[in-house]
Amino acid sequence: TRSSWRLIGPAAELSKKRCRLMHSSLGYDADVCLFYVKGEFFAMGARCAHSGGPLCDGDIEEADGVLKVFCPWHDYDFDLRTGKSGTSLQQQVYEVKLEDGNVYVKHVSQPADQRR
């Protein structure tokens, strides 16, 4: 599996919005949401593992120290850190790093439906 760090942009700018939708050259299903919640960035597949709902538009809640996004379509929950859902579905998540004030996401160069 090939993956590489992709420069997204300056953290100061990206932290102004709760979520950004990043389009992938691999197509719609590989688009990524970059969330900024409680001082931390999280990257997750933008299309819900259930039926493709727009996770960027989901509500975010914290329960027992776990940050979750709730899909706006059928309210399935996904852990922002692990992509795990209480429904047993798994959403793709991507590593994020900060370097010199810039945000990078490790984007795997393979179709989003070939999960690790």
Binding segment for ligand FES among 7-15, 22-30, 68-76, 91-99 (CB under 6 A)? 68-76
Count of chain residues binding ligand FES (CB under 6 A): 9
Residue selected from 6, 21, 50, 110 as contacting ligand FES according to rule CB under 6 A: 50
- Measured CA to CA, the distance from residue 94 to residue 77 in angstroms comes to 17
8 versus 49: smaller Cβ distance to ligand FES: 49
User: What is the helix, strand, coil percentage profile of the chain, to 5?
Assistant: 10, 45, 45
Place of tokens 């996401």: 105
9 versus 52: smaller Cβ distance to ligand FES: 52
